[in-house]
């Protein structure tokens, strides 16, 4: 009985520290805290976005587009022991729909020449998005622990290596700007860093979390009949988190991304990204195995030719 109660208490603690991954803006707070080995977590989360991002990943944007996107994501996480270090393997499958108004031009013959007349066209996309697979390998401060060992663990400083791949499995129409998939492979590398500020005492835990990272993209060989190339997109994600009670926490979130400029058949599209986003996250334990998280993120003062997106997200985690 005592062992079972210990496991339930540890499970409640662990669940409170797992939030979403592979969302459109950032991974979220308390995503890369250490967790006991052999833990499984199922995630179901939904978000609604408005802005000019043309896919769920928000890797590309169109300044002439107005997009409303609704996405459901289903994730599975498994914590394992690799050489004594805690490792989390994750797979995420997105699905949803998007409705958009996209700026376009219509060539009209006038006299002996042709004039492009600006018009707006409606686009929509519905279906499965690109499947995302990730491994997060702790490098320092996160030993692989059993449930019993985790019950007395005092987290201080963590550093991990994140390696991930996004697969070209999503719905894609080459004649559209807006799609649930991007018709290309993408790879990601990041270094999640977590520092506990003060004592490790559930109900009063404070952390500073910083994650520099980069996305690297393969070519899309059918972007409206052209080849699209995209430069690497560099990001830095930060979270300042604070327990409100043993069952609830709040986080102030910030992310900056730069790069990601694209070319079509070698023609530079002059769309380098320099984007700031700020957000707020609230998490609450519904019971010992289920957690609810609400998040909101939005771009800060974007210019007319920059990425602009606002996202409201709801997340439900269940562990076993």
CATH number assigned to the domain comprising residue 55: 2.40.160.40
Does residue 120 form part of some domain?
A: no
Does residue 121 form part of some domain?
A: no
* Confidence (pLDDT) at 101: 84
* Confidence (pLDDT) at 182: 92
- Residue 200 is part of which domain span? 2-98+127-319
Name the percent of the chain lying above pLDDT 90. 51
Mean pLDDT score of the chain: 85
Does residue 108 form part of some domain?
A: no
264-295 pLDDT, tens digit per residue, is 898 888 888 888 999 999 999 888 888 899 99
Does residue 107 form part of some domain?
A: no
Does residue 236 form part of some domain?
A: yes
Structural domains in the chain (count): 1
* Confidence (pLDDT) at 275: 86
On the question of pLDDT at 96 being above 70, the answer is yes
Does residue 136 form part of some domain?
A: yes
**Section 115-119 average pLDDT:** 52
| Higher-pLDDT residue of 15, 192 | 192
Q: Give the pLDDT band (50/70/90) at residue 2.
A: very low
* Confidence (pLDDT) at 3: 46
Does residue 106 form part of some domain?
A: no
On the question of pLDDT at 221 being above 90, the answer is yes
What separation in angstroms does the CA of 192 have from each of 109, 137, 142, 175?
56, 10, 12, 38
158-177 pLDDT, tens digit per residue, is 999 999 999 999 999 988 88
Does residue 103 form part of some domain?
A: no
* Confidence (pLDDT) at 214: 95
* Confidence (pLDDT) at 111: 58
């Amino acid at each position: 009985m005592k062992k079972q109660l210990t496991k339930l208490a540890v499970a409640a603690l662990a669940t409170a520290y797992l939030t979403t991954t592979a969302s459109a803006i950032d991974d979220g707070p308390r995503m890369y805290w250490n967790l006991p080995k052999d833990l499984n977590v199922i995630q179901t989360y939904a978000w609604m976005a408005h802005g000019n991002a043309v896919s769920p990943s928000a890797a590309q944007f169109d300044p002439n587009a107005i997009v409303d996107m609704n996405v459901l994501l289903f994730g599975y996480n498994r914590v394992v022991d690799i050489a004594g270090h805690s490792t989390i393997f994750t797979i995420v499958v997105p699905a949803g729909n998007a409705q958009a108004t996209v700026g376009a031009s219509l060539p009209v013959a006038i006299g002996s020449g042709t004039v492009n007349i600006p018009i707006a066209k409606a686009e929509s996309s519905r279906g499965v998005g690109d499947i995302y697979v990730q491994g997060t390998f702790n490098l320092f401060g996160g030993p692989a622990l059993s449930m019993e060992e985790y019950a007395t663990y005092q987290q201080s400083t963590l550093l991990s290596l994140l390696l991930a791949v996004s697969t070209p499995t999503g719905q894609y129409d080459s004649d559209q700007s807006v799609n649930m998939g991007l018709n290309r492979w993408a790879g990601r590398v990041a270094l999640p860093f977590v520092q506990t500020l003060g004592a490790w005492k559930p109900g009063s835990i404070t952390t500073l979390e910083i994650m520099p990272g980069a996305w690297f993209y393969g070519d899309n060989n059918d972007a409206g009949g052209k080849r699209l190339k995209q430069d690497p997109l560099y990001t830095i994600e930060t979270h300042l988190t604070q327990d409100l009670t043993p069952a609830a926490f709040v986080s102030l979130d910030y992310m900056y991304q730069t790069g990601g400029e694209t070319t079509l058949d070698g023609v530079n599209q002059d769309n380098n990204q320099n984007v700031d986003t700020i957000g707020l996250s609230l998490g609450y334990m519904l019971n010992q195995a289920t957690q609810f998280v609400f998040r909101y993120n939005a771009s800060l003062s974007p210019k007319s030719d920059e990425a602009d997106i606002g996202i409201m997200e709801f997340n439900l985690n269940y562990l076993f």
